[in-house]
Chains A and B, each alone.
Chain A
Amino acid sequence: MSEVAAAPAVVRLERVTKTFPRGHVTALQDIDLELEPGEFVSLIGPSGCGKSTLLRLIGDLVEPTTGSITVNGKSARQARNDGDYGIVFQDAVLFDWRTVAKNIALPLEMLGWERDRRRDRVREMLELVELTGFGDHHPWQLSGGMQQRVAIARALAFQPALLLMDEPFGALDEMTRERLNLELLSIWEQTGNTVVFVTHSISEAVFLSTRVVVMSPRPGRIAGTVEIDLPSPRTAETRDTQRFFELVTEVRELLRSRGEHLLPEEEAALE
Chain B
Amino acid sequence: MSAVAAPGARRAALGGRALRAVGEWLPALVVFVLVVGLWEGLVRALHVQQFLLPKPSTILRVCWTQRHTIWPAGWYTFKEALGGFAIGSGLGVVAATVVGRFRTAGKALMPVFIAANAVPIIAFAPIFGAWFNPISAQSKMAVAAVLCFLPVTVNTLRGLQSARPHQIELMRSYAASEFEIWRRVRVPTALPFLFTALKVASVLSMIGAIVGEYFGGALNALGVLINTSAGIFQFDTAWAGILVASLLGIALYGGVVALERVVLRWNPETRGS
Contact = CB atoms under 8 A, between A and B. Distances in A.
A25 B2 CA distance: 9
B1 interface: yes
Contacts of A218: 1
A24 interface: yes
Contacts of A26: 1
A26 B1 CA distance: 9
B175 interface: no
Interface in A19-47: 23-26
Helix, strand, loop or mixed for chain A's interface? loop
Contacts of A24: 1, 3
Nearest to B3: A24
A3 to B, nearest CB: 42
Interface in B1-45: 1-3
Nearest to A25: B1
Which range contains the number of B residues in contact with the other chain?
Answer: under 10
Contacts of B1: 23-26, 218
A24 B13 CA distance: 14
Interface string A194-219: 00000000000000000000000010
Nearest to A217: B1
Interface string A138-155: 000000000000000000
Contacts of A25: 1
A259 to B, nearest CB: 16
Nearest to A218: B1
A25 B3 CA distance: 10
A24 B2 CA distance: 9
A171 B82 CA distance: 52
Contacts of B3: 24
Contacts of A23: 1-2
A47 to B, nearest CB: 13
A23 B2 CA distance: 8
Interface string B191-205: 000000000000000
A46 to B, nearest CB: 15
B159 to A, nearest CB: 25
B273 to A, nearest CB: 13
A86 B215 CA distance: 66
A26 B2 CA distance: 12
A24 B4 CA distance: 12
A95 to B, nearest CB: 25
Nearest to B2: A23
Interface in B46-90: none
Nearest to A26: B1
A49 to B, nearest CB: 13
A61 to B, nearest CB: 23
Interface in B129-154: none
A23 to B, nearest CB: 8
B13 to A, nearest CB: 12
B209 to A, nearest CB: 43
A84 B179 CA distance: 59
B8 to A, nearest CB: 15
A26 B3 CA distance: 13
A271 to B, nearest CB: 26
A234 B2 CA distance: 43
B150 to A, nearest CB: 31
Interface string A211-244: 0000000100000000000000000000000000
A218 B2 CA distance: 11
A24 B3 CA distance: 9
A53 to B, nearest CB: 15
Interface in A149-201: none
B30 to A, nearest CB: 28
A221 to B, nearest CB: 14
B46 to A, nearest CB: 49
Contacts of B2: 23
A25 B1 CA distance: 7
A20 to B, nearest CB: 11
A23 B9 CA distance: 13
A22 to B, nearest CB: 11
B134 to A, nearest CB: 52
B12 to A, nearest CB: 13
A48 to B, nearest CB: 9
A40 B2 CA distance: 35
A202 B3 CA distance: 32
A198 B167 CA distance: 34
B254 to A, nearest CB: 31
A96 B86 CA distance: 42
A219 to B, nearest CB: 8
A142 B123 CA distance: 50
B56 to A, nearest CB: 43
Closest 7 CB pairs of A and B: A25-B1, A218-B1, A24-B1, A24-B3, A26-B1, A23-B1, A23-B2
Interface of A: 23-26, 218
7 contacts: A23-B1, A23-B2, A24-B1, A24-B3, A25-B1, A26-B1, A218-B1
